[in-house]
Amino acid sequence: MEYIELKNMVFHAFHGVMEQERKVGNIFRVDLKLYIDMHNAIQTDKLEDTLNYAAVFDLVKEEIAIPSNLLEHAAGRIISKLKHNFPQLKRVKIRLAKARPPLGGEVEEVAVIMEN
């Protein structure tokens, strides 16, 4: 199945259960695989026959700005909003990662991966 991929979208946001995370924020990275039927776009070469990935980016940016305690919650919200706003999506896969999580040791990132 065909898909459009947006990789390594980077945002500063305020997700986490610790008060400090909610005050200072952190760097979050989002990767998306957006499964759609590309047959019409291949034939017509028209934006309305595919997925406008600039609009997808704007939606992710808007959703990531809403604080959540859990990455799972933020990722689930993004998937729900994408599927609601872009009914042509057959499936969405997201990877949402938090850089340098406060775990008391050196960890590059922690991530959740969901597919719906």
Pairing of strands 3-13, 91-99: unpaired
Tell me which residues are annotated as active site.
Answer: 98
The SS3 of residue 22 is: helix
Contacts 24+ apart (CB under 8 A), 9-14: 9/57, 9/60, 9/61, 11/60, 11/61, 11/64, 11/65, 13/64, 13/65, 13/67, 14/67
Q: Which residue's structure tokens are 């039927």?
A: 37
Q: Other CB atoms closer than 10 Å to residue 74's CB: what's the count?
A: 23
